[in-house]
Amino acid sequence: MDGSSGTGSNANSSVGPFTSEESASQSHRQKVDIAWAHVSKGVNAQGRKTMTCIYYHKTFAGGGIFQMKQHLAGARGSIVSYGKVPPEVRHAISVTLKDIFEKKKKEENLGQKIHLVDL
């Protein structure tokens, strides 16, 4: 075989048209959420992933980016809000939270309609 078809023995360890480095980077989802621009990631002494608000300088272990969005938006939830987040950031994050809730509600309504049709 000529090695260009992706089958058979290949001299390098790449799979398909990607090198092993490209394949590894593509297997991880990119952090594209706007909230990541306002949060720094880290690891605490116990090895748990942490997030630190760049405005509040408080580190949170666990909870995920959704709770950090609640924090940045000043939404009431299970994480403390902070009043010194810039208004434009607070507004942008609030809009994304609203979009998430609307999308979830739409999916739930669609699911109910599908269930009724199946009856």
pLDDT (tens digit per residue) in 26-43 = 455 566 889 999 999 999
28-87 pLDDT per residue, tens: 556 688 999 999 999 999 999 999 999 989 888 888 888 899 889 988 766 777 778 899
pTM comes to 0.60
DSSP letters of 44-76? -TTS-EEEEETTT--EEESSHHHHHHHHHHT--
Residue 18: predicted pLDDT: 42
Domain ranges for the chain: 1-30, 34-118
